[in-house]
Structure 1
Amino acid sequence: MRNSRRVRAAVAVAGVLTTLVAAACSSSPGTTQSSGPRGELTVLSLGPVTTWDPQRLSTPQDIAFAGRTFLRTLTAFPPGRDATAQRHVVGDLATDAGSPDSTLKVWRFTLRKGISWQDGSPITCEDVRYGIARSFAQPFASEGLTYPLAYLDLPRKADGSTTFTGPSDASGQAAFDKAVSCSGSTITFRLAAPMADFSEALAMPVFAPMKKSADKGKAGTYAVFSSGPYLLKEPWDSSAGGTFVRNAKWDKASDPIRKALPDSIHYVQGTESQTAVQAVINNQSENTAAVTLDSAPPAMQQHVLSDPGLRARSVNPSSQFVDYLAPNVERGVMKNPDVRTALALATNRDSYVAALGGASAASAAYSLIGPTLPGHRSDDPLGAGSAGDAAAARTALQKSGLTLPVTVRVAYRSTPTADKAMAALSNGWQDAGFSVKLQPIAKNYFETISAPAQLAKTDVFWANWAPAWPSASTVIPPLFDSRLNLTGSGTGRDFGGFTDAKVNATITHIQSLPSLDDQAPAWADLDASLARRAVFVALAQHKSLYVAGSAVTRFGANEALGGFVDLAAIGVG
């Protein structure tokens, strides 16, 4: 999953740090009360939120906010301090995490009693069906997540699309009715292939219910019809945000996820991250009861973490993304496995992490299966370590039979930070016998590198990836199953053009294993085998740092939600 949040140019933060020093000295966690409305939590975000429609939501930060405030799904990931417990999905609108049959292709869920919409009407099985059905219609199909299209057992056309095109499609309705059916309060899903983690997929908003009479269609970009503890007080302001107040029809007894402690939540949109962090650290007025939803810039992170008072009001979780390199295995020098191995051995992750901002911003990674996922391993399959091994890399490069220095062209998404990070990597590669030619691409990076012609121009592609939910099934197949990626129109997310029938068969086998406990070590083994072949070179696991005002209680992040601030249990003292 790629974060679609628009990136704005950062402003200088050097002057901010002087202000923070003074602010830190006066902060006293837990003693200052908010002068704003009693019980109101303020959240500060850059934004922009592009939609609140459940079938159009795709930005992880917005999904995390919506899912804790006004949008309930059949399943959800629980709050709490225990990262392991966070990733064990539980029932939300459903009584539990569902019951699959022996094939893992038929899943059944039973709705809880007492669940209702903001108008007091009950949330029904048909509401769930309607919400999923609308994801096949426009604009939802092109703007939102496409998991129903990918997983449900529906007739397909030659191009992979389905014959069902939404609730108004009478011709395809019978097929959809078979794939998603209701019997009283029980909903049954029939899938195209076995899926042990389907209950985790159902935590995504695209599977959320929608009441047909409340559906505003294309005009409902920011419409909120709440199934959770908060509802939107007034129409959403796309430039400023909005305020969410209590939903009187929400039954706390029916909701095992959301504590809903604040009386209201004021969402302030359009605040640059460094401005938001400074405001919260200053700890004045309404900002004593505020939290930042965007990670603090690295230059500010070090200040926050070095001050005991500020550190106590912050969290520094692993975030979604793992940065990695995808060598071009289809042509050029990287088709030679010894050259790929040399590149991997020479990769200095320490210098890369330092350029990103240090230990509070990232940590060295050797796997694409991040630390929040079952099956994560922290060891280096090639044994070079975080600083790399230039001598071993040079030996591997000499073994390739090519004349040193070996020229390698490396494409990456150019930003000021990325420019420094890639320059740091280049130094290590050059020590091993490479001649590095960096190819910075500032605009439309992923679209550019996935074009067929790019394989002839580039030897190594920088990339990043984040799991859609805590399962390696949302990492390895999307990146390395050539059946999903390689077409005449491009490489998809398989930027290096990797194809291996045995790997594809292994993916299919792992997906058919009966439990996630069985799948996790199998995914780990496959990940490590691809790393040993240098099909990818993992670089760094990103981290975030969020700050809260002194009146905020139970402040934390949830790594199962992508490492974002978890509003399910947060309160205002």
Structure 2
Amino acid sequence: MSSPIRRHHPRPQRAHVRALVGLFIVVVLGTAGGCSVLAGGDPPTTPAVTASHERTDERGGTLKALSLGPVLSWDPQRIGARDDAAFAGRTFLRTLTAYQPSTDARTQSRLVGDLATDTGTPNKNLTAWSFTLREGIAWEDGSAVTCEDVKYGISRTFSTDFITGGSTDALAVLSVPKKPDGTPIYAGPFVKAAPNDPGRAAYDKAVVCRGTTITFTLSAPVSDFNEMVTQAAFGPVKKSTDKGGDGTFNVFSNGPYKLAAPWRASTGGSWVRNPHWRAATDEVREAYPNTIEYQEGIETQTVAQQIMADGDNSKSAVALGSAPPAIQQHILTVDALKERSVTAGTGLVDYLVPNVRSKVFTSVEARQALAVATNRGAYVTALGGGSTGRPTASLIPEALPAAHAADPLKAGDRGDAGQAKVLLGKAGLTLPVPIRVAYRSSPVADKAMASLVAGWTEAGFAPRLTPIKDEYFTAITQPGAAANYDVFWSNWAPAWASASTILPALFDSSINITPSGPGRDYGYFVDPKVNAEIVRINTIADRADREEAWTALDVRLQTLGAYIGLAERRSLYIAGSDVRNLSANEVTGGVVEFADIAVRR
């Protein structure tokens, strides 16, 4: 199912709300990695996400990165795609904190200081965070990266008339007053304003530089603000290089690579070493290749076939797009190909939402019955098999600290039609129970949704699938959609490595449901106790305790039938025989990890 992740900016109706944006995806105190031992079930066993090809620590050579693209922007505050954000963050854009690369998905959520010396210091009530910049970090012209550069970069996010496409979390959380329409009184650095402009004064009060220390004052507690700042939108920009809101592909590097020449849209560019990057200041990036030749505009299937053939022009190449399912099966059955491939979870989870305003799903037992009758295994098979997805009852991806293997309704991957019938009986419904199911149509989606019909029918439902091809998410957020459908298909991915970027955005009715529609709460799920628990969890300072609380809330939501997990999507990447250290990072979207990749010379 080829739907892109779609995110609406939740309406800021309550102080704790944060806008969740884009694809990095669309979120921490401490630096402990791995899965916590959590209530409701043991953590899932997550395999290493690395190719079996031998490793190397040799520097040098040229790596070819091949992609369909297009990259829409390399501007830090405009980057919206997770794969673009991941590439930028490992090559030319450093942020205050970052997730340390690992070949084991269980430790990829370990947070470390990047531009900052550590992962930040909050005040007692989590309404202010301070970070001190490392010494010796330089731009590609040799000038030092300063606190003011970080402050200026973030200020550009407020220029919503000029800067679009990236995360706007800064607008939601920084202590900058809002106008009656909910927009900040600060309009960013590109709007001419008087020296005593209240908007500028408000921003200067919310983001303060004192020497090498930057302090953020927030409008409400944000317990994982130090994870939020891993996003590209919180990256620095040197004011003197800024093109006044233009310059979509203007790159001025503070990482190990810089563009050798201006980026060519639909073609790509050559990334060469930034001579002013110092490895001693960087605990995230190894930067093994001398050059990364990034080529876009090549069909994904063509890329995979060229690299599989391993000709002279492909030996040092890596595919940035997942191989098509038919090709994946061949790669995984040929040892010589399998050893130079890697499969990883993307964090993108497909799920179903029962509409609690429909007559069918007003009762919890009816919602539970649909969940118990859902055959996730069949859904994954229809997607293309285990290399394209894994069955999951949870919206929390495997690589996140809050991940768990709980199955509170005991449905298993294949469902239980008999138990579902019992639940429908408890709901007082007469069999068969008609249900109207809306989903975003595509050839793969049509097959995947059709695979669910048999299990639902056996359980006593009479499903009618409604494929919607155009503007799917716009259609299901219209107020009238609740009267037309009983179940909605959707997908979601976290913006950073916390369930705080999943559960509040989808199930906090106070920030979603209005007379104009449900926001991302498509099923109109309303539970004041859930809303109150979201508020409480956002004030828990300890990361392990906080993520355990998110786990418990997720189990509660599953038990209430608020949603039905289907599958976490997976990607498979292949590289040429001269590429070494091939791995994928599940925390940043299951994309190729450029912090560690190398080329045999």
TM-score of the two chains, using structure 2 as the length reference:
0.88
- Separation in structure 2 between the aligned mates of residue 143 and residue 466 of structure 1, nearest angstrom: 17
Aligned to 1:399: 426
Partner residue in 2 for 1:417: 444
Please state how far the C-alpha of 1:379 moved relative to its aligned partner.
Answer: 2.7
> What do the CA deviations read for 1:208-259 (whole angstroms, capped 9, x no partner)?
0111110113321011011111111111111111111111121222111111
The equivalent residue for 1:58 is 80
String of CA shifts for 1:338-368, please: whole Å, max 9, x gaps: 2211111100111001001111111110111
- The one-letter amino acid paired with 2:414 is A
Residue pairs, 1:112-511, within 5 angstroms: 112-139=134-161, 141-167=163-189, 168=191, 169=193, 170-511=197-538
What CA distance in whole angstroms lies between the structure 2 residues aligned with 1:408 and 1:185? 59
1:301 aligned partner, one-letter code: Q
SS of equivalent to 2:69:
coil
Report the alpha carbon displacement of residue 30 of structure 1 after superposing the two structures with TM: 7.4
Contact kept? 1:55, 1:140, Cα under 8 Å: no
Contact 2:347-2:398 within 8 A present in 1 as well? no
Flag the structure with higher helix content. 1
Matched letter for residue 104 of structure 2: D
Which amino acid in 2 is paired with 1:305? Answer: L
Q: Which moved more, 1:152-161 or 1:429-438?
A: 152-161
**For structure 2, which runs of at least 5 residues remain unmatched after alignment?**
8-21, 24-51
Q: CA deviation at 1:141?
A: 5.0
Question: What code does the residue aligned with 2:179 have?
Answer: K
Greater RCO structure (CA 8 Å; 6+ sep): 2
Letter in 1 for 2:587: A
1:131, CA displacement in angstroms?
A: 0.5
Letter in 2 for 1:282: A
CA-to-aligned-CA distance 1:169-203 (integer Å, 9 cap, x gap): 53301111111100000000111222221111111
- Determine which of 501, 513, 519 is the counterpart of 2:540: 513
Measured in 2, the distance between the counterparts of 1:301 and 1:515 equals 41
Judged with a 3 Å threshold, the aligned counterparts in structure 2 of structure 1 residues 29 and 503 are, in CA distance, closer, same or farther, namely: closer
Q: What is the rounded CA distance, in whole Å, between the counterparts of 2:512 and 2:435 in structure 1?
A: 24
Q: Deviations over 1:416-438 (max 9, x none)?
A: 11101100101110111111111
Q: Which amino acid aligns with 1:425?
A: L
Native 8 Å contact 2:53 2:580 kept in 1: no
Distance 1:564 1:193 in 2: 33
SS in structure 2 at match of 1:561: coil
The one-character-per-residue Cα deviations of 1:127-163 (angstroms, maximum 9, x if unpaired) are 1000011110034554221110111111112332211
Match of 1:17 in 2: none
> Is the CA contact 1:78–1:257 (under 8 Å) kept in the aligned structure 2?
yes
Unaligned runs of at least 5 residues, structure 1: 6-27, 32-37
Contact 2:376 2:414 in 1 (8 A): yes
RMSD: 1.7
2: CA distance, partners of 1:219 / 1:150: 24
Give the secondary structure class of the aligned counterpart of 2:348.
strand
The number of equivalent residue pairs is 546
Would the aligned equivalents of 1:29 and 1:551 in 2 still touch at CA under 8 Å?
Answer: no
**Residue 542, structure 1, aligned to residue 569, structure 2:** yes
In structure 1, C-alpha distance between the alignment counterparts of 2:302 and 2:530, rounded to whole Å: 47
The answer as to 2:577 corresponding to 1:555 is: no
C-alpha distance in 2 between matches for 1:501 and 1:399: 24
Partner Cα distance (2:74, 2:580) in 1: 26
Supply the distance in 1 between the matched residues of 2:162 and 2:216 (Cα, whole angstroms).
20
Query: Quick one: which of 90, 95, 106 aligns to 1:68?
Result: 90
Equivalent in the alignment of 2:36:
none
CA contact (8 A) 2:344 2:571 kept: yes
Please give the per-residue CA displacement for 1:518-543, whole angstroms capped at 9, x wherever unaligned: 11111111111110111100011111
Is the Cα contact below 8 Å between 2:108 and 2:399 reproduced in 1? no
User: What amino acid maps onto 1:307 in structure 2?
Assistant: V
Q: How does 1:7-26 map to 2 (within 5 A)?
A: none
State the SS of the aligned residue for 2:361.
helix
Residue 335 of structure 2 aligns with an amino acid whose one-letter code is P
- Give 1:290 deviation, angstroms: 0.7
Shift of 1:414: 0.6
**Conserved in 1, the CA contact under 8 Å of 2:97 and 2:114?**
yes
Work out whether residues 30 and 550 of structure 1, in 8 Å CA contact, stay in contact via their aligned partners in 2.
Answer: no
- Cα distance in structure 2, aligned partners of 1:159 and 1:518: 36
Equivalent of 1:46 in 61, 68, 72? 68
Q: Choose which of 111, 117, 126 in structure 2 pairs with 1:89.
A: 111
C-alpha separation in 2, matches of 1:463 and 1:228: 36
Conserved 8 A contact 2:358-2:485: no
Contact 1:313 1:549 survives alignment (8 Å): yes
